[in-house]
Structure 1
Amino acid sequence: MLTPVSSRSGAPASVRAFAPALWSLLLTFVVLGPLLTSPGYLLLRDAVSTPRSFLTDSALGLSDAAARAVPQDALLAWVTTMIDGGIAVTVILALSVWAAGWGAARLVSVVLPRAGIPGQLVAATVAVWNPYVAERLLQGHWSLLAGYAALPWAMCAAVTIRRRRRGGWPALTLSLAAAGLTPTGVLLAAVGALAVLAVPGGRVSVPARVAGGAALTVCASLPWLTATFLAGGGTEADPAGVRAFAARAEPMLGTLGSLAGLGGIWNAGAVPESRSTPWALVGTVLLLVVVGCGVPALWRRRRHPVVVSAAVLAALAVLGPAVAATGAGLAGGAWSMENVPGTGLLRDTQKWVALAMPGYALAAAAGVGALRRRFSGPSTVWATALIAGLLLALPDLAWGVSGQIRPVHYPDGWRKVAESVTARDGDVAVLPGGMFRIFDFSGLVAVLDPLPRMVRADVLQTGTLVVAGGTVAGEGHRAEEVEELLLTGADPAALAANGVGWVVVEHGTPGGLGESQRTLDALEQVYGDDDLSLYRVDGVSGDASPHRASAIAAHMVWLLMSACGAVGVLVQRFARSRKQP
């Protein structure tokens, strides 16, 4: 039996109750320190924040590219009418990391109440301080971490629903809506919640609660489901992406060992330095020892629905991506990309390792009591030892993953170009070709071109990715045609015929320009400096997608769902506080 924290502790009960939240907040500050202490914008690989975003058709997912950043981009377009985009992204990211730790602690308090505050602090550390968080930060998947953070909260809400207590459905509504910032995020939270809801038992029938959870999942997914249905983006995917995005073996670990240690992202450049050395083995062993200490205790509680769900999810989250990285798995994945529409969403298999986090957190928390029973001593001592082991396992996660997660500042020319481009005069084509850039002001790491999130008009992007020396084709066929016109020096009339009203040249970044100068010489230059040049194509007027109203309506449903969930949770908390003496 796990031992609760002593009621004779010198700390007031209110302080002890908030200890996991405060500890998670401290960890968040240590991880994101450079972003939280300096002004600027997150611009690292896939992460792009800009001073202001706009509600373009692309932001709504209404393009021939997959709706991967829906409703994230639309939310930023609305939020940045009130606050700076750099602040908005930093706040969302910080809240996500904080909520991940606090949510893991909350899951422990619900499932293993006798683990007490020491167990909850260990669980919070597991959720925040691990290779998955580090690698997704370095890859720039800041919004995916919102879904990662919502996962334990969604599972807690599912337990409340099973017990037929008030507040369960509002909490699940809010969790899924928060996770719904990206398609993958809502799927992560939904899988965790539905796994708990589907286990037999409880005071509410299984079909009723599963149907309710599925309905909420659909509502939280409406923005990207609607965009995909109306625009058709992302229904096809290049089979080459399966191999390019397969989980990767880290030093001395192999693929399975890397995944078991919550690492193994496909991009070898998006890993902390310690994970590219033999310390990856040491760190993984430390993490698995911390988790393994509590496995026997969880086994004794194997009839608990959350323990069962978390254990099964952890096993599948590690074994599934490992199998997908084998020859047979790669062949099966390639077949699905060619024959099953929409499976491109699943090609980055390592991201599903997030589903192991609740099980790892529960096991680590249970380990505190197990160590105390076996070796005696206060729970706080063993919790401190386990936390120290977790921190030591990944020492370079601190301070922005050794300073790599830091704000940048755009040269003034970006603001001037953004002010000059209008939405009514056609779409924007960009040179050099490709989606990724290397700028002096953002360091030597390739970053996603920030222009599409900075101007009022749609920026044409091919979606083609260069990964591990190979190429993964994107879905932007119209953008490919326009890019070919520019690189072959086509007449401006050909650009106008394709709805292109602007051409932006981003200087100083690698990439081919082909014969584009011939086209540019025939255009009116609106602005130019050492960083950017802006050209106008005459005779083009922009036409908004006929599906904008439907896409915006779907986003409104998601926003309404978020608001209703938040209000419901606050009302329930207020009601409980009124009942307490």
Structure 2
Amino acid sequence: MSPARPASRERWRAAPRALAPALAGLVLGVAALGPALGPGFTLRYDMVVVPDPPLAWPSGGFPRSVPSDLLLAAAARVLPADLVQKAILLGIFVLAAAGAAALVPGGRLVPRLAAAVLYAWNAYLAQRLLLGQWALLLGYAGLPWAVRAAARGGTGRLALALLPAAAGGFQAMLVSAPAVLAVAATRPGRSWRATAAAAGVIAAYCLPWAVPALLSGASTDPAGVDAFAARADGPYGTAGSLLALGGIWNAEAEVPGQGEWPPATARLALCLAAIAAYLWAGRTRAARPAWWAGLLAAAAAGLAVALAGAYLPGLPRTLIAWWPGFGPLRDGQAYLAPLALLVAAGFGLLAARVTAPARGRRPAPVWPVAVVVLLAPVLVLPGAAWGAFGRLDAVPYPAEWRRVQALVNDDPAPGALLSLPWGAHRAFAWNGGRVTLDPAVKMFARRVLWNDALTVGLPGGGELRVAGEDPEARAIGALLAGDGPVTAALRARGVRYVLISGPDRNRFQSRLPGGTVVHAGPELTLVRL
């Protein structure tokens, strides 16, 4: 028998073990998304995908959707946009699970699967998904691969591993960069060269959104620190919520049942045990993986940013007032991504200890213990299943949205589109009343003017208004705040179309004398100036 055949058989036997974490991520993704994988589009908060999205560079305000929306629009030239959305969402779970498993030392399957399951099923991922931040989650999913690449060295390897974060854009890169730089700086060997190379790759990938941001003239309201600060979503306060990988600012992004005592206690205990296992694994320098110290530093820094917004809000407010570029610090909970990876790696190390056969004894079956370990992340957060009990779903766009999209995009004349009513979010009956960003922002191949200011309800009652970032939108808002006709003023500002939705369409339309109604349907009115 030739030696090639046994080697070939060994590879075939090893393939299922190598693919198991990715398959686990796929199963968890299906279980978490549930109805969102049905026909149609999943629309919730920042997650707005439209049919036939235009290949247009976003303009106005901070370039939050650069280059993610452009890449999605390019993919939608090959597949329908709703299928692209589902592929991205499932891919996040697969990539995250496989990456976390790849970090766990040793070749045992159960510890690798334990890390995969926890990284693909935790409060951080679930809450960011319910907030619709799929672009940030691309960076989250690619983070284990980026950490691994930074620890192993090699510019090309790191550039490949950071591609998901680069596709996600500014926030995906900002939650990935600290971990990559910290791991590169603490790896054995010539760390300064590795750090410089990592910084160069990160800087190159940030150019598509950093340059437009610097040229946009966008401003950041320091009041956003209070609006977006981490909050308690369970019985253990804000710090306890953050250590359990929760604590997002928006109560509507809370996972069903997350705040109840039994699952909250079990979830916090699991995360603390995983952190302890991670720290124990690094007690001696010889036993530490190359990424151990860097990931620990990045996780501690991310937790500190999140805690600062909740307990020392004056510090980020001062920084933002000094330079708007510090604006992303206001959503401090987003920077828990390295901590989530640390907890997943620690859980894998913990699983390796509790499922290891005792020395000097006859090996006992470990699968009963392994099954409990692998199910634990799901059991402590059951509300994340099936689209968070229906909070995520897929719906078709009404036909008149497609009609209005065609009318505007087929018009070669220049000019912006103004979307009314003057608010960023909508709650359409055809979307089950779920709050979503105005789809008009993504639907048209021309500049769309919309109100990017945000009103946030405060835990003690009342509301906090965070000023918008786009200077042109602020000027339009001041114009609409008055009374009387605005047709001439809007024309002077380059507005060609006004799209009006909601029950007050007649009131808004009465302020546009001389405009031509080119569409009047059950929900939308389109006026050409």
If the length of structure 1 is used for normalisation, what is the TM-score?
Answer: 0.82
Offset at 1:197? Answer: 1.0
Task: State the alpha-carbon separation in 2 of the partners of residues 364 and 534 from structure 1.
Answer: 54
Q: Distance in 1 between matches of 2:423 and 2:76?
A: 27
Shift of 1:250: 1.8
TM superposition shift of 1:290: 5.0
* Aligned residue type for 2:299: A
Contact 1:429 1:500 in 2 (8 A): yes
**Residue 456 of structure 1 corresponds to which residue in structure 2?**
445
> How far does residue 54 in structure 1 lie from its aligned partner after superposition?
1.5
The one-letter code matched in structure 1 to 2:22 is A
Q: Which residue of 2 aligns with 1:547?
A: none
Offset of 1:299 from its aligned partner? 3.2
User: Are the structure 2 counterparts of residues 293 and 192 from structure 1 closer, same or farther at C-alpha, using a change threshold of 3 Å?
Assistant: closer
Check conservation: 2:97, 2:116, Cα contact below 8 A.
yes
Equivalent positions of 1:161-200 (< 5 A) are: 161=153, 168-180=154-166, 181-200=168-187
**Equivalence for 2:488:** 493
| RMSD between superposed Cα atoms in Å | 2.2
Between the aligned partners of 2:391 and 2:109, the Cα distance in structure 1 is 32
Distance 1:73 1:489 in 2: 36
Task: State the Cα distance separating 1:79 from its structure 2 match.
Answer: 2.3
Query: Where do 1:420-431 residues align within 5 Å?
Result: 420-421=407-408, 422=411, 424-431=413-420
Aligned residue in 1 for 2:292? 307
- Contact 1:239 1:337 survives alignment (8 Å): yes
Aligned equivalents of 1:507 and 1:227: distance in 2? 33
Q: What SS class does the counterpart of residue 518 from structure 2 fall into?
A: strand
Counterpart CA distance in 2 for 1:464 and 1:346 is 18
What corresponds to 1:72 in structure 2? 68
Which residue identity does 2:502 align to in structure 1?
A: H
Equivalences, count? 504
Match of 1:254 in 2: 237
Q: Secondary structure at the match of 1:467?
A: strand
Q: Give 1:474's aligned amino acid.
A: G
Separation (CA, whole Å) in 1 of partners of 2:404 and 2:267: 47
Contact between 1:192 and 1:355, CA under 8 Å: does it hold in 2?
A: yes
Q: Which runs of 4+ in 1 moved over 6 A?
A: none
Residue 540 (structure 1) aligns with: none
Indicate the SS of the match to 1:325.
helix
Question: Which SS does the other structure have where 2:101 is aligned?
Answer: helix
Q: Structure 2 matches for 1:406-417, cutoff 5 A?
A: 406-417=393-404
The Cα offsets for residues 399-448 of structure 1, whole Å up to 9 and x where unpaired, read as: 11112111111111100100011363310112111111111011223210
Letter of the aligned partner of 2:514 in structure 1? A
Map Cα deviations across residues 482-540 of structure 1 (whole Å, 9 max, x no partner). 244345232411111010000111124xxx77963332343110011111000001xxx
Q: Per the alignment, in what secondary structure is the counterpart of residue 265 of structure 1?
A: coil
Residues 43-72 of structure 1, C-alpha deviations (whole Å, 9 max, x = no match): 101110111111334x2xx32x11111111
Matched, 1:294 2:287: no
Q: Which amino acid aligns with 1:54?
A: P
Structure 2 vs 1, CA of residues 493 and 127 (structure 1 numbering), >3 Å: closer, same or farther? same
Cα contact 1:52–1:77 (8 A) shared by 2: yes
1:294 aligned counterpart, secondary structure: helix
In the other structure, the counterpart of 2:337 is 354
Judging changes above 3 Å, is the alpha-carbon distance between structure 1 residues 280 and 258 closer, same or farther for their aligned structure 2 residues? farther
Counterparts in 2 of 1:215 and 1:415: CA distance versus 1, 3 Å: same
Alignment-derived partner of residue 427 in structure 2: 438
Please, which runs of 5 or more residues in structure 2 have no aligned partner?
1-9, 458-462
C-alpha distance in structure 2 between counterparts of 1:265 and 1:365, whole Å: 25
Match of 1:557 in 2: none
- Percent identity between matched residues is 34
**Deviation for aligned residue 1:361:** 1.5
Native 8 Å contact 1:123 1:361 kept in 2: yes
Give the distance between the partners of 2:279 and 2:526, measured in 1 at CA. Answer: 64
Gapped regions of structure 1 (runs ≥ 5): 1-8, 162-167, 538-581
Residue 43 of structure 2 is matched in structure 1 by 43
- After TM superposition, the structure 1 = structure 2 runs for residues 53-64 of structure 1, keeping only pairs within 5 Å, are 53-57=53-57, 59=58, 62-63=59-60
Instruction: Quote the residue 1:471 is aligned against.
Output: 465
What per-residue deviation string (whole Å, max 9, x for no partner) do you get for residues 556-579 of structure 1? xxxxxxxxxxxxxxxxxxxxxxxx
| Structure-2 residue corresponding to 1:534 | 526
Contact 2:426 2:438 in 1 (8 A): yes
- Pick from 195, 206, 221 the counterpart of residue 191 of structure 2: 206
Secondary structure at the counterpart of residue 78 of structure 1: helix
- Give the secondary-structure state (helix, strand or coil) at the position aligned to 1:305: coil
> What is the DSSP-based 3-state SS (H/G/I as helix, E as strand, rest coil) of the residue aligned with 1:503?
strand
8 Å CA contact retained: 2:35, 2:386: yes
Report deviation, 1:271: 0.9
Aligned to 2:127: 135
Distance 1:423 1:507 in 2: 27
Residues 154 and 190 in structure 1, CA contact (< 8 A), matched pair in contact too: no
Counterpart of 2:116 in structure 1 is 124
What is the CA deviation profile of residues 313-348 of structure 1, one whole-angstrom value per residue up to 9, with x for unaligned ones? 23333343123311xx20111111111231112210
SS at match of 1:41: coil
Deviation, structure 1 residue 301: 4.6
TM-score by length of structure 2 reads 0.90
Residues 66 and 170 in structure 2, CA contact (< 8 A), matched pair in contact too: yes
Given candidates 243, 251, 263, the residue that maps to 2:226 is: 243
Q: Quick one: structure 1 residues 292 and 425, their matched pair in 2 at CA, closer, same or farther if it must change by over 3 Å?
A: closer
Of 95, 100, 104, the match for 1:99 = 95
Partner of 1:239, secondary structure, is coil
1:251-278 Cα shifts (integer Å, max 9, x gaps): 3111110000000000011111111333
Is 1:113 the counterpart of 2:100? The answer is no
Task: Kindly indicate whether the alpha-carbon contact (under 8 Å) linking 1:256 and 1:319 is maintained by their aligned counterparts in 2.
Answer: no
Question: Among 501, 504, 522, which residue is 2:514 paired with?
Answer: 522
| Structure 1 contact 430–505 (Cα < 8 Å) conserved | yes
Report SS of the residue matched to 2:448: coil
Which whole-Å CA distance do the structure 2 matches of 1:294 and 1:454 have between them?
48
Instruction: Give 3-state SS (helix, strand or coil) of 1:251's partner.
Output: coil
Change over 3 Å in CA distance of 1:379–1:489 after alignment to 2: farther
Q: Does 1:504 align with 2:505?
A: no
Hey, what does 1:264 align to over in structure 2? 247
Note the C-alpha offset of 1:223.
0.6
The CA deviation at 1:174 is: 1.7
Return the letter of the residue paired with 2:28: L
List per-residue Cα deviations over 1:178-231 (Å, max 9, x = no partner): 2112211112222222211101523xx222211111111011111101211333
Counterparts of 2:29 and 2:111 in 1: how far apart (Å)? 19
Q: State the shift of 1:280 in Å.
A: 4.8
- Find the partner of 2:384 among 389, 392, 397: 397
